[in-house]
């Protein structure tokens, strides 16, 4: 199983039981790719809306035919003959049924047991790689199996053989108080607890630590530890400080970006290159809300499969948290996680003709979609505020291109914010070709805030440059009324009112050339 492009998470940081539980909690659909540290142990776990459905392995011992031979259900000769008859139209199990080598009930029992063993074998891994490929599943009905989630996870963790992993996972909880979970994935009454386990669970009171519970549980250390790990994974019990999983954001579609998600950026101590590195990440993060899937993947709307795949790999490398691991990017790690998550979602959606067609129909995307309009008002204003702050920082640093880029985006998010409009106009005034834009934005500021003295003063300067004396005088008078502390207003007003003929450029100490 080749998943090298998706080496986004290490198992040592997030063990598979926690990963599967989180996928179930978020009702995700897709394929969980798991690879052992030796690069040979490969598993694919198929999950539909959080429920385990199917699994495949690249190990010969996990193949259906080999399993049937080892269990004595078919002979080696029957196995070989069936393999020779196989073609792409039929699966191995279908041939066995046609040859009456076993009945459908028995076949399903073996397949279900095989799937369980494949999934549970990943629970013992303490190193290696995993990646969740979020997508809609189109499994044939005969490959969709039901595994009651709670009982399955409990049984899988009961069967853990890697005791080092077990105790390592519970180490952080030893001195934490254990209480009943507020949001269990399954009700405890649906878990097949044996009498000893039920008694141990009954001692959870919210005051005793894990180590204290072990002493009064009447259970041996190993089975007690397995029970507690299972209950913690399932949310049936919870600790004072819940386990923080690095992978969680990778499974979340960032449908809403809030101000809490954006960091407070201190740029003063950074080099120019470090500042640019940060802004590339933040710009891409903001594109999650403002770009179509193909724009986010930086391909044209008439892309080829090869173009899509190539840019997907390139962007994964560019924004992966493992490659963007410099100190000045550490507080942007959650942004990088969401970027990678959105890249995967966009790629999987566009790479499949069916999901691509559904996406286009759902969003009516004949033209690029402005997803700002899909956000609720509160989140849109919060995002506008953070984007505005970033634009202001660049203004103070005289980085006008970046300042304009962020202020313009903030204005799109909040078109009637006079602060944003005024600062955007100030940047536009620095470009001789954008004077009309600046004038329009300043007039809008005055419409929203008639007493905005600075806007009147700036507008007066634009009119002076265009030799519109009466308009300039009018706005200078209003600027003087609303911003009387600005002495420059009175100086210019006095000069203008006394000015007869002549160039208004002289008022600014400029000479015609």
Taking only the tens place, the pLDDT of each residue in 447-476 is 998 899 899 999 988 988 888 888 888 888
The percent of the chain in helix, strand and coil, each rounded to the nearest 5, is 60, 5, 35
Mean pLDDT along residues 35-57? 84
Structure confidence at residue 445 as a pLDDT band (50, 70, 90) = very high
Please report the pLDDT score of residue 134 as a whole number: 86
Neighbours of 321 (CB within 10 A): 21
Query: Does residue 132 have a pLDDT over 70?
Result: yes
Contacting residues for 350 by C-beta, under 8 A, at least 6 apart: 293, 294, 297, 303, 308, 356, 359
Query: Does residue 314 have a pLDDT over 50?
Result: yes
Q: Say if CB 209 and CB 174 are below 8 A apart.
A: yes
Residue 280: closest CA among 319, 323, 232: 319
The dihedral region occupied by 230, where left means phi > 0, alpha psi between -120 and 50, and beta the remainder, is alpha
Q: Say if CB 226 and CB 166 are below 8 A apart.
A: yes
Structure confidence at residue 251 as a pLDDT band (50, 70, 90) = very low
DSSP readout, 391-445? HHHHHHTT-HHHHHHHHHHHHHHSTT-HHHHHHHHHHHTTSGGGHHHHHHHHHHH
Domain boundaries, the chain: 4-143, 152-239, 252-374, 396-403+410-508
- The Cα–Cα gap between 330 and 321 comes to 9
Query: Does residue 289 have a pLDDT over 90?
Result: no
Q: Measured between alpha carbons, how far apart are the two ends of the chain, in Å?
A: 72
Helical H segments across 86-122, by residue range: 92-98, 104-121
- The Cα–Cα gap between 260 and 495 comes to 49
What is the enclosing helix (H) or strand (E) of 144? none
Structure confidence at residue 282 as a pLDDT band (50, 70, 90) = confident
Structure confidence at residue 443 as a pLDDT band (50, 70, 90) = very high
Among the residue ranges 8-12, 255-259, 354-358, 410-414, the one predicted with the least confidence is 255-259
Please report the pLDDT score of residue 499 as a whole number: 62
Please report the pLDDT score of residue 505 as a whole number: 41
- The Cα–Cα gap between 234 and 406 comes to 43
Structure confidence at residue 85 as a pLDDT band (50, 70, 90) = low
pLDDT above 90 as % of the chain:
26
Query: Does residue 169 have a pLDDT over 70?
Result: yes
- The Cα–Cα gap between 184 and 434 comes to 58
* Number of residues that this document lists for the chain: 513
Query: Does residue 260 have a pLDDT over 70?
Result: no
Please report the pLDDT score of residue 84 as a whole number: 67
Query: Does residue 66 have a pLDDT over 60?
Result: yes
Counting beta carbons within 10 angstroms of the beta carbon of residue 88, is it exposed (0 to 12), middle (13 to 18) or buried (19 or more)? exposed
- The Cα–Cα gap between 91 and 45 comes to 19
- The Cα–Cα gap between 112 and 101 comes to 18
Helix/strand number for the chain, H first, E second: 22, 7
257 or 438, which is more confident? 438
Please report the pLDDT score of residue 263 as a whole number: 44
Structure confidence at residue 243 as a pLDDT band (50, 70, 90) = low
Q: Say if CB 74 and CB 110 are below 8 A apart.
A: no
Q: Say if CB 306 and CB 314 are below 8 A apart.
A: no
Structure confidence at residue 186 as a pLDDT band (50, 70, 90) = very high
Structure confidence at residue 62 as a pLDDT band (50, 70, 90) = low
Please report the pLDDT score of residue 508 as a whole number: 40
Q: Which residue has the tokens 């009454």?
A: 189
- The Cα–Cα gap between 495 and 481 comes to 17
Q: For residue 342, what are its two tokens? A: 């959105």
Structure confidence at residue 355 as a pLDDT band (50, 70, 90) = confident
| Highest mean pLDDT out of 162-176, 257-271, 317-331 | 162-176
Please report the pLDDT score of residue 510 as a whole number: 40
50 or 331, which is more confident? 50
409 or 269, which is more confident? 409
Please report the pLDDT score of residue 388 as a whole number: 86
Query: Does residue 400 have a pLDDT over 60?
Result: yes
Q: What topology does CATH give the domain 396-403+410-508?
A: 1.25.40
How many angstroms separate the Cα of 295 from the Cα of each of 298, 364, 446, 471, 501? 5, 15, 36, 44, 54
Please report the pLDDT score of residue 7 as a whole number: 44
Beta-bridge partner residues of 47: 30, 52
Contacting residues for 379 by C-beta, under 8 A, at least 6 apart: 256, 257, 258
Query: Does residue 215 have a pLDDT over 50?
Result: yes
Angle value at C-alpha 367, between 362 and 370, nearest 5 degrees: 75
DSSP category for residue 328: G
Query: Does residue 5 have a pLDDT over 60?
Result: no
Structure confidence at residue 79 as a pLDDT band (50, 70, 90) = confident
Q: Is 30 helix (H, G, I), strand (E, B) or coil?
A: strand
Structure confidence at residue 50 as a pLDDT band (50, 70, 90) = very high
Residue 410: closest CA among 425, 398, 399: 425
Residue 315: closest CA among 289, 292, 297, 291: 297
Query: Does residue 320 have a pLDDT over 70?
Result: yes
User: Nearest 10 degrees: CA dihedral of 337, 338, 344, 346?
Assistant: -160
């Amino acid at each position: 199983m080749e998943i090298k492009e998706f080496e986004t998470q290490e198992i040592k940081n997030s063990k598979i039981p926690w990963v599967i539980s989180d996928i179930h909690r978020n009702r995700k659909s897709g394929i969980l790719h798991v690879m052992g540290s030796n690069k040979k142990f490969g598993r694919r776990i198929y999950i539909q809306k959080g429920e385990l459905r199917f699994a495949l392995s690249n190990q010969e011992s996990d193949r259906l035919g080999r399993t049937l031979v080892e269990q004595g259900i078919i002979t080696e000769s029957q196995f070989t003959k069936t393999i020779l008859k196989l073609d792409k139209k039929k699966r191995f199990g279908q041939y066995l049924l046609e040859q009456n080598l076993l009945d459908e009930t028995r076949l399903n029992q073996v397949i279900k047991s095989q799937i369980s063993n494949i999934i549970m074998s990943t629970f013992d891994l303490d190193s290696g790689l995993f990646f969740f490929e979020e997508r809609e599943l189109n499994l044939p009905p005969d490959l969709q199996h039901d595994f009651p989630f709670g009982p399955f996870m409990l049984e899988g963790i009961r069967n853990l053989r890697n005791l080092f992993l077990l105790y390592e996972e519970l180490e952080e909880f030893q001195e934490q108080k254990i209480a009943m979970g507020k949001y269990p994935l399954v009700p405890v009454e649906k878990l097949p607890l044996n009498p000893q386990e039920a008694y141990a669970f009954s001692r959870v009171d919210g005051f005793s630590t894990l180590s204290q519970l072990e002493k009064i549980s009447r259970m041996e250390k190993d089975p007690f530890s397995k029970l507690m790990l299972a209950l913690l994974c399932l949310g049936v019990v919870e600790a004072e400080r819940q386990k923080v999983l690095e992978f969680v954001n990778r499974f979340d579609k960032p449908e809403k970006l809030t101000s809490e998600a954006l960091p407070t950026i201190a740029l003063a101590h950074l080099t120019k290159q470090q500042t640019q590195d940060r802004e590339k990440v933040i710009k891409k993060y903001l594109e999650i809300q403002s770009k179509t899937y193909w724009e986010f993947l930086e391909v044209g709307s008439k892309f080829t499969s090869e173009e899509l795949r190539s840019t997907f790999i390139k962007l994964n490398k560019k924004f992966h948290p493992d490659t963007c691991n410099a100190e000045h990017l550490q507080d942007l790690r959650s942004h990088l996680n969401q970027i990678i998550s959105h890249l995967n979602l966009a790629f999987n959606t566009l790479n499949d003709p069916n999901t691509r067609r559904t996406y286009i129909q759902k969003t009516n995307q004949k033209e690029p979609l402005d997803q700002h309009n899909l956000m609720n008002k509160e989140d849109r204003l919060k995002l506008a505020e953070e984007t505005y702050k970033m634009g202001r920082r660049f203004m103070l640093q005289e980085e006008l291109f970046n300042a304009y880029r962020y202020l313009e985006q903030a204005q799109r998010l909040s078109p009637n914010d006079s602060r944003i409009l005024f600062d955007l106009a100030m940047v536009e005034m620095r470009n001789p070709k954008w004077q009309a834009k600046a004038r329009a934005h300043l007039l809008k500021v005055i419409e929203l805030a008639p007493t905005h003295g600075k806007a009147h003063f700036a507008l007066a300067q634009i009119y002076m440059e265009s030799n519109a004396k009466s308009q300039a005088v009018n706005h200078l008078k209003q600027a003087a009324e609303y911003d009387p502390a600005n002495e420059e207003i009175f100086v210019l007003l006095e000069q203008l009112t006394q000015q007869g003929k002549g160039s208004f450029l002289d008022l600014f100490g400029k000479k015609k050339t």
